[in-house]
Structure 1
Amino acid sequence: MFASSPFRRIIPAVLAAVLLLPALAFAHPHAFVAADVTFVFDEEGLAGIHQRWDMDEMLTASILDLIQKYDGGPLTPAEAKAVESESFKLIKEYDYFTHIRIDGKPFRAQWATDFRVELNDRKMVWHFTIPCHVKAADRNREIVVGVFDESFYTFVTYASENGPTIDPTADPLYLNADAPASPDDFQRFSSHVKLGSFSGKIRTDGPTDLFELNTDVRTMPSMAYYYEQIVPEALIVNFRRP
């Protein structure tokens, strides 16, 4: 099905998107993810960071080609396991594109749990949780989370309550795997897709009533990437014992 499509030419893009191959020379970005982030609490404090990644059709088709699924049906348990082993587990080396700071200090996302994958309207959706235990105290604890691919091969945007906030197909180079990389890739992309600030609600789950809790969204110059052209927004949670 995909053998003669433009997706077939970018099958290495699946690995590129998750392995961040530096030799790639086509215009960025070529893969798109809308991340819905939830800070999960237990009785002790923060327990983990749950994410739902909604992928665009191009990345979805590439991953399906990687596991040689062409029937158009839902994923079987064996196919879901193949997605986990052939693509999801590969991004562990890159901290699952999740950049975390706890009270100002970096925290590496070294593993993820509860992986689940589904197909929704021809688009792949990943669910997973990054354990991150931060015990509440009488003083304020601050958790900063930015989700982004430093290579800018994959562009990650935060999903709102209504789903993805941008349409990557508005970028004229969306399907052009032959377009060369350019220093103004981000300016071109952000202009065409009308990239704006995240205005959704930061999600929390669990017994949050046990804590004094505040959330915020902030641009983080100290997390700037892709030649420091892109200054990401970070999702921030502050909490303490009452």
Structure 2
Amino acid sequence: MKISMFLASGFLTLVPATAFAHPHIFVEARLEVVAGDDGNVAEFRNVWRFDEVFTSSVVMDFDKNTDLKLDPNELAEVGKTVRDSLVDYDYYMNLTMNGKNVTVQKPDIIHVDYRNGQLLMFFAVKPAETMPLKGDLAFGVYDPTLYTSIDFPTDDELVLVGDAFKTCKHHVVRPDADQVISQNKQSLTAAFFNDPTGTNMAKLFATKLEVTC
């Protein structure tokens, strides 16, 4: 795996399109949606913990002094690479405001750590436009190519932060993959499973936090 392979979905460019519909990277995530005092969404705080296999490949790529670990300068290089690479994928943020997709700004920095054989990333992004806490909002994290599986181990990993959310109702939606496929047989064609990036259907499989204010 070369460093350039970070430059596309799932951090990889050299995998065949036919492999996209099957996760190869596994991430346990936490998302905190932070409301500002002005009644708008202020930022989204992300924590990603990567599986050991992918972590090992990153260590091989970035361990320049070959001491079998990632030193602070090497961790910083990982963060910079991911920050530059995922901009075209909106950092996997899945955000809607009254049904309209909302993008995010590039984070100032992606902090990276290496603990117990696993890579961790911490970063915050801000919405690219004002997101008032009004109407129906949805917040989640997913890879549109389905190459990376982003999982929230419990509903408690999707968190609302700030007094402005106190008047809002919220619940976590966890789609059942078999049910999604059954209900969308005509839409989920072979082309989708070969290359999900060609459609928006991958969102049907994404876990998200739905909020009504």
For Structure 1 versus Structure 2, the TM-score category normalised by the shorter chain is 0.7 to 0.9
Q: Which of 58, 67, 89 in structure 2 is aligned with 1:71?
A: 67
Q: What letter is aligned with 2:11? A: V
Partner of 1:88: 83
Give the whole-Å Cα distance in 2 for the aligned partners of 1:142 and 1:75. 43
Q: Find the residue that maps to 2:126 and give its secondary structure.
A: strand
Alignment of structure 1 residues 1-242 onto 2, 5 Å: 14-15=6-7, 17-19=10-12, 23-26=16-19, 28-45=22-39, 46-69=41-64, 70-73=66-69, 75-76=71-72, 78-132=73-127, 133-136=130-133, 140-160=134-154, 199-200=155-156, 202-208=158-164, 211-218=166-173, 226=193, 228=201, 231-239=205-213
Q: Identify if the C-alpha distance between structure 1 residues 65 and 30 changes in structure 2 by more than 3 Å, giving closer, same or farther.
A: same
Deviation at 1:131, TM superposition (A): 0.3
Decide whether aligned partners of structure 1 residues 11 and 31 sit closer, same or farther in structure 2, where only a CA change above 3 A counts: farther
* Aligned residue type for 1:40: V
CA 21–158 in structure 1, closer or farther in 2 if over 3 Å, else same: farther
RMSD: 3.0
Deviation at 1:14, TM superposition (A): 4.7
String of CA shifts for 1:123-170, please: whole Å, max 9, x gaps: 01101112024234xxx333212321122211111133xxxxxxxxxx
Contact map agreement 2:95 2:101 (CA 8 A) in 1: yes
Structure 2 distance, partners of 1:145, 1:20, is: 27
Aligned-residue offset at 1:80: 2.5
* Number of equivalenced pairs: 187
Q: Is the 8 A contact 1:31 1:153 kept in 2?
A: yes
With over 3 angstroms needed to count, the CA separation of the structure-2 counterparts of 1:112 and 1:145, relative to structure 1, is same
Identity of aligned residues (%): 21
| Partners of 2:31 and 2:157 within 8 A in 1 | no
* Corresponding residue SS for 2:168: strand
Contact 1:14 1:62 in 2 (8 A): no
Residues 15 and 201 of structure 1, relative CA distance in 2, 3 Å threshold: closer
Task: Report the AA paired with residue 44 of structure 1.
Answer: D
Q: Which runs of 5+ in 2 are unaligned?
A: none
> What is the letter of the counterpart of residue 18 of structure 1?
F
Q: Specify every segment of 5 or more residues in structure 1 that has no aligned partner in the other structure, as ranges.
A: 1-7, 161-198
Q: Which has the higher helix share?
A: 2
C-alpha displacement of 1:19: 4.7
CA distance in 2, matches of 1:125, 1:113: 17
Q: TM-score normalized by structure 2?
A: 0.72
